Structures are given as structure tokens and as C-alpha cells.
Chain A
Amino acid sequence: MSIPIKPVFVDEKLREVQESGRLAYRSHALPTWCPGCGYFAIVEGLTHACNAMNLPRDQTAVVSGIGCSSRFPFFVDLYGFHTLHGRALPVATGIKTANDRLTVIAVGGDGDGFAIGGGHIAHAAKRNVDITYLLFDNGIYGLTKGQTSPTSAVGLRTSTSPFDNPERPLNPLLMLLSYGVSWLGQAYAGRPDHLRGMIADAIAHRGFSYLHILSPCVTFDKTSRTYVNLGLQVREIPEGHDPTDLMAAMRLAQDTDQPALGLFYHQKRPTLGDTFDEIAARARAKTAPATD
């Protein structure tokens, strides 16, 4: 996965971007992220993916919790719901339950998803609710100005761990696999072309798809997850990995020193919407012969 280096000319690039049609998915609100933040690549990635998939803007909803990443819905011109800290998934589940035709994308950070909202992920995965969850993992709390998060590295010094973080970070990929996620992938904000393809694949999956997106926090973490460090660590999914092999995916997920980018696992199984339909059919069949 090498980054092609070729000259880019502003006028050509502007024309290309305008003609692509993806600007239609951008709102006029200015992002609130710091210059250099990895999240710019993610919002670009989503507009690319939506455009490539030709998603109708009024049939798409982006749901977020609270945090730097959760400001995301304001920066795209789709239906959006900026909810409470940790609650993007249950709100998104309610939206999808109410209207199956909508494409529902939940977004949030590592604190939002794995600390305060950690109880919801297992159930979204288990139910296989047909939504896409983009998790922006920068290993730190940014919006509250740099505290330890559930995915912070051991030894990270922050304002709430001035004597260095003593706790082991969670392994989100391994958790999701054991919860029964039906699509699992990993991407890196520093590889935007790969990222946009992964976002499109995650949305296209029928069922609960989880895309783990590694990103630096350029303001509050100058030592651990920098562009330099992450760029040296990430690698491609090994050739020959079988994404239908759960055990192989679990082994791959355990290598946190060299995070692999790509599709870890996918599985076809009934979604929450399918089970609702099946229950309704059974309920109707049961009541149909009654005469009263």
C-alpha cells in the first residue's frame, strides 16, 4: 500500500472535485476540528463513498454521540442527529427500526463508543441492525482537552493520568468479533483512498458493519499515535486472509503492534429488520384462522 506521489495542480483538482458531485454531500458548516486532524479525511471519505454509491441525501441519516468526532453530522448535508454522549447506536437503532429504507450511519470516537457507550455495541452487533458504525479511534479525549481514553496506550501521560496511564487499552476489533459483528474492517485516516473504499464497502454491507478508523490527535497526543508512528505501524491485510474465517480474523485482531488495514471478517445473516418482518408474518399467520 504505497502512496503515489505525483504533482497536483489546484485548478485541475478544483475542477475534478466539482465535477465529481461529491460536494453536494458537504454542508456549509465549517468543521470544528484542529488543522491536521485525521477526521478531515474521514468526512472526505464519507462524501466520496456516498457519491460513489449515489446515496439519496434525503434517505440517509448520520447519527453521532458527543466528542470531536461526533460533530461530524454538521459537516455533511444529510439528515443528522447529534445525540448524547455514548448513545449514537441505540438512537440509530430506533431510526432504522422506524424506517428500513433509510441508510443509517453512526459515528463516534473511542471514548463515546467504548467507555460511556460500551454497553450498546454488543447489542447492536448481536441484533445485526442494518447500520454502519464508523469509529474514529485517536486514543484520547480531544473535546475535553486531552484525557486518557479506553484505547490509550499503556504509559500515555495525559492530564488525568499525570503518572502515566497504567491500564491496558481495550481491543475493539476482538470485542466486536466476539459480539458477533457481521462486517468488520479497519482503516487509517492517513490512507484516505483506502479509507473511502472501506467506508463504501461498510455501507454496502447488509447488517451491522463496524469500521475501525485509526487517527492521530495532532493537538493532545504528540508522542503515541502520531502520523509518523501510525504510518510506520499499519500494514495491509496479509495476502490469503479469508474474511469468512472468524478464527483467522481474531488472530489478526490480536496483532495490535502492526494494525492490519482492510476487511477482517464478514458474514451473511438476517438483519434486525428481517427478524421484525418474520415475527410479523408469524403473528399474522397465528391470528389469521381466528374467527372472532
Chain B
Amino acid sequence: MTTMSKTDIQIAICGSAGDGTIAAGDILRNAVAAAGYRVIGFDVYPPEIRGFGKCISRLRISTDQSYSLKRHSDVLLSLDDSQALPHAGEVRDMGAVIFESQPIAPCQEGEHMSARVLPGQIPYAFSMRELSQQATGGGRARNLVALGIIAGLLGLTPDPFRAIIARKFGKQGPEIVARSLAGFQAGFDGATRTFKLDDVFFSPPGQADTAQRVIMLSGNAAVARGCLDAELDTFFGYPITPATSIMERLAAELPKHGRRLLQTEDEIAAIAATIGAGYAGARAATATSGPGLALMSEMLGLATITETPCVVFVSQRGGPSTGMPTKTEQSDLNAALYGSPGDACRIVIAPTNVEGCYRCAGKAFEMAERYQTPVIVLLDLYLSNRYETVTLDESDHAFVLDANKPLPRLEPGETYRRYALTEDGVSPRAVPGDAGHMHVITGLEHNELGRPDDSETMHAAMSRKRHDKLQAALRHPEFAVTRRFGATGRVKVGLLAWGSTFGECLEAMFMAQAQNIPCAALKVVMLSPFPVREVASFMDDCDQVLVPEINHEGQFAQLVQGTLARPVTRLSRVPGSPMPVELILNEIRRLAQG
């Protein structure tokens, strides 16, 4: 083996709630990112804080950025065999299964990981509890011992681990830091003294481009960063999984800039205050999940008819109703597109990766203000909670946010027309405080002045105005509403996808190309207004079109079919987890043969 080879290793850590599984995953991904590797990671955890729920932290570490997790992990570390047993099978041939050699309680025959390691997998039994006891005087540092084992076994340099452990536990005082470092060291020493894996090891990462900074962010952290870079003034929110961490981050950051965040009494109040702030001229946003979006739907219609800018981040989870709060799904597309009475048009955009979360967050404010409309940014739990290393170009001032048209100069006695019918449908917008432009906005259908008017001609004119002005969003500056990957020209199979599932589609497409299947993939970022031209021209190039998505009804497939009146092949699954890449690949192969 040479150092020129590229790293692509996936590690899974599995335990019970309370074992420190997620914390160990967090330290590991930060340490390898600090060492210069590219990372994509996703944690699965139960809705309960304590108890016996399963926690898995999966992490794919590579030299070049990857787009999804792999089906097979190279290493599985079990902190609790009762949870990890079903996952032994996800470790590839010649991969490592690391487990506790001395469980705290006697276990039934066949209930110990040693009984489940498959032929071809390499078992590593460590007495993590004993190592923790010896090094720290207690068993609580087991997860750090485990980290040390991973680092030692795979040849990772320990320094970044030490720095991150010191930072993570710094708040709890020097004693805890020392104990945690001792636990890590015990695991590291134990693993360096054992035999190494043949083909799972880390090659030195490439040198980072110095003009750009590589940082690791979760999707929600990227959204919060996008909000801050777009100079968000006010945020109103109500806690709900998996959107809460957007609010938590902004709660800490906004006040540093003299800006404001309010936790409201419910989601209705959150969107109401967001619209109120938008009306008053502030840049305003809220974040929620499907159940909150349902509560917000009446208010979103108010934002549409009053043409008030506001941004709503919606991180989808399993539904309907309370559904599966800690499982991912893409089943709120219809609610995002249509969830409001009346012809309540709005802009809906959906990023496909963590970097996209940052871009879409900032662009959402540009669009909300330029087109005077609500904008929904549709995420999902998999995207909100997954970690990726992203490259942020720090030099550029990312977003252009002075979209307001100049207010007309009013002649004496002239009344300001808030909803003046203009060529592009966007009217110059005055806000409270602007001298002489007093006006009333209303959820009633209104005339150009904003006064109630339910005449046939006015309702038709205003409906047209509200819809037509959004078409310009399809040509919004520096925003790709769709993007094509893979082969150019005619292909056998075209993948049409949106949101987080696009990463799996891309991986599947690359695998299919490696098998000489001509294929391409189109990611659709703007879902409303629908990019009819781009999607139609992509479909023109495809013999077969496959639409993979994580919902039962095939909501995006229905949107495509309904809008373009062309058939597509659906791949709709609701596993509560990301779409398996192999499943998409199998469909591509089936369609290519057909």
C-alpha cells in the first residue's frame, strides 16, 4: 500500500441512549475533519432522552467529498451489543467489528457480538469497561476508550482528538478533561498494541486550498449560518424536532449582533410575529417541522395575499400527525406547496446537501424581499442533522439584499398604492415609519390601495399579480433552480430528485456509470414555481425517468407528472432512514435493461 491511495472509510458506533454514542461520533467527526479529511455523517437516535433506545452514529471519512453514506461500514463499534447485534451484517468483508469483551451482565447464548461476527469480518474484543476503570476510576469514559481504539487501530493521529476532547469537556472543569483524555489514551494504547487491519487505514489527507476554509457543519448549523450572513434581524420559533437546533444556534448568535429572537407560545404565533416583523420592514424567519407547518398554513396565506416577505425553514420528519419525530421523511412536499386555503402561491426551495442549506437560507431572504412573498426552505431530518465538511468561500459577501424598489414620490393629496399593478407584479413597498405612505394591509382581497375589494376584475387582477411575479424567481440571479449531473446528451436512465435523497441518487448514478449504463441526474432545487422548461428538457434526453423519494405517495413524482403530463417511474420508500443507494442502483439497472 502506498500513501497515494485515497481514503474512503465508514465507521458506525452503536449503543443505547446514555452510552455516549452520539458524543463519541461528534468527537470523531470533528477530529478527522480537523485532520483534513472530508466527512459526511448522520446520527440515528430515539425520541426518548433516557431509556433503552438505539443510538447509531455513522460517519464516512474520505479524501474527496462524498454525497451519501455507504451501505456497508468498514468498522462497527458496539457500546451495547443488545442494540448493535442487528448491525453486524452492515460491516463489509474484511471490515472490523469492535465489541466489549467483558459485558457488565451475563448474556444469553448468542446475544454477544462475538457470536454474530460473520466469516470474513474481523472481530476485535476489547475490555472497554476495564480500560475505562483502570484509566479513570469509573466506567463512564467507555465511549472515549472506544474512540481511542478507533484512532489507534486505524492509524489516526491522536492530537486532534485530544484538542477536541479538551474543548468539549472544558466547561466541566480540568478534572473531567484529564479523565476523558486518560480514557482516550487507554483505548489508543490498547489498540496500537494489537494487530492492524489489512485494508482499512487512513492515508494522509490532501492539502487544503488556502483561499478556502473547510469547516464541518450540520444542515441546521448551515441554515443558521446562512441566516446570520444574510443579516437576519428577527427570528420567532417554537421548539420542534428536528428544527429546534436552528433556533438554538440563533438564540446564541443573534443577540451578539444586537438582533432579536423570541420563543413564542406556538407555531401560529411564531409565523404571525414573523409576518408582523416582515411587514414592519425587518428580515424575519421562523423554523419548524411538518406539524408546525400545518399550524402555520393559514398565516402563510396571509403572507401571500398581503405580499409580505417571510422565510420559513421546514425540516421534515416522518408523518402524518406526530408520526416519527426522530426519523427522516420527505412527505411534507404537498403541505409546503399547497398547504393553505385559496390560490396561495409561494416559493418553495429544497437544498440537497449541507452547503446547499447555507446557500438556500441566504437566497430565501433575497427572494422573499425581491418578490414580496413567503419562501419555504424544505429540509428534512437527514439533512438537518447530518454533518458534512463544506467549503465556504469566506471572501465573498454571499447575498444581495437591497431588493426594495424606491418608493414613489406622492403628489399632495395622492394616496400611496401599496399594491400598484406593475409590469413585473412587484409593487414598491412602504413599511411603518415611512413618512406619508400610511396604508392598511389586509387578508381580504383588496384593490391597489389595499382597501377591501371583492369585485371580479380586482380578484382576477390581484390573483394574476401574485402568481406572475413569482415566475421571475426561476431566473433569480446566482441561483441554479436545477442542475444536471452525469452524462450529457441522450441517456438510458435519468434520475429526477429533490432534497436530501439527491446525494444517494448521485452515488447510485456514479455506480451505474461505472457499470457502463448511460445515465444522468437532475437535482431540482426550486419546487415552486416549478421549473417546467428545465425539467422537460432533461426528460427529453431520457429513455426512462426514475424519481426516488422518501415518502409513500410519490409526492414529487405526482408533481412532475401533473405539471408535465409525462410518465415517470416512482421509487417511493418510507424506511425512516435515507434511501439505500443499492436500491436506486437496482432500479437504474432494471430500467436500463427494459
Contacts and interface: CB of A to CB of B under 8 A. Distances in A.
Interface of A: 29, 57-61, 63, 66, 73-74, 77-84, 87, 90-95, 97-99, 101-102, 119-120, 122-123, 127, 272, 276, 279-280, 282-284, 287
Contacts of B265: 90, 119-120, 122-123
Interface in B439-472: 439-444, 451-452
A282 B279 contact: no
A283 B251 CA distance: 10
Interface residues of B, number: 47
Contacts of B441: 80-82
B359 interface: no
Given A90-B269, A97-B234, A120-B269, A61 B432 contact: yes
Contact of B439 (A80, A95, A99, A123): A80
A152 B183 CA distance: 69
A94 B284 contact: yes
A77 B439 CA distance: 7
Contacts of A74: 440, 442, 451-452
B36 interface: no
A13 B496 CA distance: 73
B436 A58 contact: yes
15 contacts: A29-B451, A63-B276, A66-B443, A74-B442, A79-B432, A82-B443, A84-B299, A91-B275, A93-B262, A93-B273, A94-B277, A97-B277, A98-B233, A99-B281, A123-B265
A21 B433 CA distance: 21
B482 to A, nearest CB: 34
B260 A97 contact: yes
B536 to A, nearest CB: 38
A180 B573 CA distance: 50
A291 to B, nearest CB: 15
B193 interface: no
A92 to B, nearest CB: 6
Given A83-B272, A123-B264, A58 B451 contact: no
Nearest to B310: A94
A94 B274 contact: yes
A280 B258 contact: yes
A150 B395 CA distance: 58
A127 B236 CA distance: 14
Contact of A81 (B256, B281, B440, B451): B440
Interface string B265-291: 110111011111111111010000000
Given A94-B273, A98-B282, A287 B233 contact: no
Given A59-B432, A90-B269, A98 B280 contact: yes
Contacts of B306: 81
A66 B258 CA distance: 34
Contact of A95 (B255, B432, B434): B432
A183 B443 CA distance: 30
A283 B258 CA distance: 9
B255 A283 contact: yes
Interface string B407-450: 00000000000000000000000001111111111111000000
A99 B442 contact: no
A74 B275 CA distance: 19
Contacts of A79: 432, 438-440
Q: Main SS of the interface on chain B?
A: mixed
B231 interface: no
A61 B272 contact: no
Contacts of B264: 90, 93, 123
B302 interface: yes
A231 B394 CA distance: 70
Contacts of A93: 262, 264, 269, 272-273, 276
A95 B268 contact: no
B298 to A, nearest CB: 6
A185 to B, nearest CB: 24
B432 A90 contact: no
Nearest to B259: A280
Interface in B281-317: 281-282, 284, 298-299, 302, 306
A108 B580 CA distance: 54
A124 to B, nearest CB: 9
Given A94-B277, A94-B279, 20 more contacts: A58-B432, A58-B437, A63-B276, A73-B440, A73-B442, A74-B442, A82-B441, A83-B302, A83-B443, A90-B269, A91-B272, A93-B273, A93-B276, A94-B284, A95-B279, A97-B236, A101-B433, A119-B269, A272-B262, A283-B252
Given A74-B451, A81-B276, A280-B258, A57 B268 contact: no
A264 B217 CA distance: 53
Contacts of B432: 58-61, 79, 95, 99, 102
Contacts of A57: 438
Contact of A84 (B258, B274, B298): B298
Given A82-B443, A87-B299, A99 B433 contact: yes
Contacts of B277: 94-95, 97-98
Nearest to B301: A84
Nearest to B256: A283
B435 A58 contact: yes
A274 to B, nearest CB: 12
Interface in B164-213: none
A77 B451 CA distance: 12
A87 B279 CA distance: 14
A78 B440 CA distance: 8
B444 A82 contact: yes
B282 A78 contact: no
A90 B175 CA distance: 47
Contacts of B233: 98
Contacts of B281: 98-99
Contacts of A287: 256
A59 B430 CA distance: 12
B258 A95 contact: no
A82 B437 contact: no
A72 to B, nearest CB: 10
A78 B233 CA distance: 24
Contact of B268 (A73, A87, A92): A87
A59 B438 CA distance: 9
Contacts of A60: 432
Given A80-B441, A82-B441, A94 B433 contact: no
A95 B276 contact: yes
Given A81-B279, A119-B266, A98 B440 contact: no
A83 B258 CA distance: 28
Nearest to A276: B260
Contacts of B435: 58
B266 to A, nearest CB: 7
Contacts of A58: 432-438
A90 B268 contact: yes
Contacts of B266: 119
A122 B264 CA distance: 11
Contacts of B451: 29, 74
A29 B278 CA distance: 26
A91 B298 contact: no
Interface string B68-79: 000000000000
| A-B residue pairs, 9 tightest by C-beta | A94-B276, A94-B273, A98-B282, A80-B440, A283-B255, A90-B272, A90-B269, A82-B442, A98-B280
